[in-house]
Amino acid sequence: MSGFVGASPDLKDSYDEDQRRVQTHKEKILSGEIEAETPLELSPNLLFFQEISPPVVPLQEIVLSRLLIVGRAIPAVTALANAVTHLNGAISRRNELIRAFKDKKFPEGATFEHMYLGLRYDGRHTNQEYEGTVKAISLYTDDVIFFCIKLCDDLRDHGEALSKRYRSRLRGDPPRISTLNFENPRQEGWIPKDEDYEKWLSGFATAPRQEHKRWHRLNPRNWFT
């Protein structure tokens, strides 16, 4: 195989397409449709990625320490922090592999094609580490997006609940609650589906609203907790 030039914009999709083309190429050779020496040109994405650095630590501090909030918000911000850590780990490892590719540092008997596509080399060895980093980056990117959106939803709901209490117990207009609209990226397929996280979501149920006693409502210290 030859002609490894260029880079496609979507890492996971382009890598999956490369693997499909290799499989189709093999099938055509086995069926006699093309000669065994027929080259296959691929365009692997070998761009280095930057690790992400969202302000997760201060966000965790706010959710865990400064907000009296129940429900999904705390596990969501924890899951978001874990997803960012794992994503950066996968990005870092892929960058290391790309450096090795460009320096032609391959195991004995292996070529770029073997390492990039996870093909068998030297008759008995297979290295699928690059494939694993691509899948990990895709998986943890979805996790970051999903848990970030769920956290935004929960913080919005918490803010709206406080706004209603403010409006009913104090004079004047409450502070404006910021909202985010993810409808366009959702329609374009950038947002992971809830079905993919059904197990995580099943651990949370809407808690029934508690009726507070009159003396509790009259205590100003309890108005926004």
For the stretch 85-134, pLDDT in tens is 999 999 999 999 999 999 999 999 999 999 999 999 988 899 999 999 99
DSSP E strands: which ranges in the chain?
A: 120-121, 125-126
Residue 152, burial from CB neighbour count under 10 angstroms (0-12, 13-18, 19+):
middle
pLDDT of res. 45: 92
Using 50, 70 and 90 to split pLDDT, how confident is the model at 2? very low
pLDDT of res. 66: 78
pLDDT of res. 163: 78
What DSSP state is assigned to residue 213? P
Structure confidence by residue, pLDDT tens digits, 130-179: 999 999 999 999 999 999 999 999 888 888 887 777 766 666 677 777 77
Please give the C-alpha separations between residue 155 and each of 17, 76, 152, 169, 191, in angstroms, as whole numbers: 39, 11, 5, 21, 19
Q: Is the dihedral of CA 115, 120, 122, 124 positive or negative?
A: positive
Structure confidence by residue, pLDDT tens digits, 5-57: 333 348 999 999 999 999 999 999 999 999 988 988 888 999 999 999 999 99
Distance CA 193, CA 185 (A): 12
Q: Which of 84, 71, 59, 87 is nearest to 201 (CA)?
A: 71
pLDDT of res. 177: 75
Q: List the beta bridge partners of residue 120.
A: 126
Q: Is the pTM value of this prediction over 0.85? A: no
Radius of gyration of the chain from its Cα atoms, rounded to whole angstroms? 25
In sequence order, what are the residues at sequence separation of 6 or more whose Cβ sits closer than 8 angstroms to the Cβ of residue 199? none
pLDDT of res. 209: 46
The CA-to-CA distance between both ends of the chain, in Å, stands at 65
pLDDT of res. 159: 82
pLDDT of res. 205: 62
pLDDT of res. 117: 94
Q: List the beta bridge partners of residue 2.
A: 41
Structure confidence by residue, pLDDT tens digits, 62-91: 898 877 776 789 999 999 999 999 999 999
